[in-house]
């Protein structure tokens, strides 16, 4: 029996959020060189308010032709509270509020697959482990920075988190004609996880059935 290919939208095509952010996405349709960017204001950062960003990502679901530009492509720019609104990004913002804010994005589990900066992406998956310093580090030969070394329990936790993220990404793309496998594998390889995307595909039919009866704006998993 073939899998039901009907889309499962986080927000309806004619809903208020789609109307609000339609012009944001139309800009990318008109300009192939436009870089996906989302700005985070000081108040959003201090309150760990990720609502606007997650609302925008939910609307992206209606624009499959833009998916591949947004997969691992969104630049986050943070308003600097003591620098007259100067925009900071990447390693310059590796501080407590940014780490906590980035990890808050995973209230939408697929969020890590949209983040371009590798440091910020790591915060979405492992921010709490970094803050608790539950890891060791070792230099990367020939490259700046370091890699994290964690024990088996922490690695199992990362695997569980990214399994949920991959299942969410699969539902996000389901029925769109866009296969998220390469976007998912890119992060799994970077995290050195043994999780295989084929394992995620095996639960697709169950996840679809579970979410057909859910209309609360979030993907549900049993």
- Distance of alpha carbon 13 from alpha carbon 4, whole angstroms: 19
47, part of any domain: yes
- Distance of alpha carbon 146 from alpha carbon 110, whole angstroms: 25
Question: pLDDT tens digit string along 194-218?
Answer: 778 888 888 888 899 888 765 556 8
The domain of 56 spans: 16-212
68, part of any domain: yes
pLDDT tens digits, the chain, 222 residues: what are they?
578 889 999 999 999 999 999 999 999 999 999 999 999 988 899 899 999 999 999 999 999 999 999 999 999 998 765 444 444 444 445 578 888 999 999 999 999 999 999 889 988 998 888 777 766 655 556 665 556 666 778 888 888 999 999 999 999 999 999 999 999 999 988 877 777 888 888 888 889 988 876 555 688 887
Query: Contact 109/96 with Cβ under 8 angstroms?
Result: no
pLDDT at 158: 85
138, part of any domain: yes
- Distance of alpha carbon 104 from alpha carbon 48, whole angstroms: 7
5, part of any domain: no
pLDDT at 80: 65
pLDDT at 91: 42
Strands (E), the chain: 37-40, 75-79, 87-88, 136-139, 146-149
Name the domain count of the chain: 1
The residue among 105, 152, 99 whose CA lies nearest residue 128 is 99
pLDDT at 221: 83
The residue among 59, 69, 4 whose CA lies nearest residue 30 is 69
Give strand pairing partners of 74: 115
pLDDT at 142: 66
pLDDT at 18: 94
Cα Rg of the chain (Å, integer): 18
pLDDT at 95: 77
86, part of any domain: yes
62, part of any domain: yes
219, part of any domain: no
1, part of any domain: no
Query: Contact 66/15 with Cβ under 8 angstroms?
Result: no
pLDDT at 132: 78
Per-residue burial over 64-88, b = 16 or more CB atoms within 10 Å of its CB, e = otherwise = eebbebbbbbbbbebbeeeeeeeee
């Amino acid at each position: 029996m073939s899998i039901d290919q009907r889309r499962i939208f986080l927000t309806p095509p004619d809903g208020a959020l789609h109307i609000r952010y339609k012009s944001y996405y139309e800009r990318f349709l008109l300009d192939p060189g436009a870089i996906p960017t989302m700005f985070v204001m000081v108040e959003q950062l201090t309150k760990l308010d990720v609502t606007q960003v997650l609302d925008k990502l939910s609307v992206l679901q209606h624009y499959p032709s833009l998916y591949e530009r947004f997969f691992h492509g969104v630049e986050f720019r943070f308003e600097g509270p003591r620098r007259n609104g100067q925009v900071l990004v990447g390693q310059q913002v590796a501080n407590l509020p940014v780490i906590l804010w980035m990890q808050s994005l995973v209230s939408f589990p697929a969020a890590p697959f949209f983040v371009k900066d590798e440091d910020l992406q790591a915060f979405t998956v492992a921010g709490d482990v970094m803050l608790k310093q539950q890891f060791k580090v070792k230099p990367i030969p020939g490259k700046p920075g370091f890699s994290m070394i964690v024990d088996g329990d922490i690695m199992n936790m990362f695997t569980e988190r990214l399994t949920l993220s991959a299942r969410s990404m699969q539902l996000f793309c389901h029925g769109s004609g866009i296969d998220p496998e390469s976007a998912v594998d890119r992060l799994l390889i970077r995290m050195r996880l043994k999780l295989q995307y084929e394992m995620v595909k095996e639960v697709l039919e169950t996840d679809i059935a579970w979410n057909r009866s859910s209309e609360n704006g979030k993907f549900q998993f049993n």
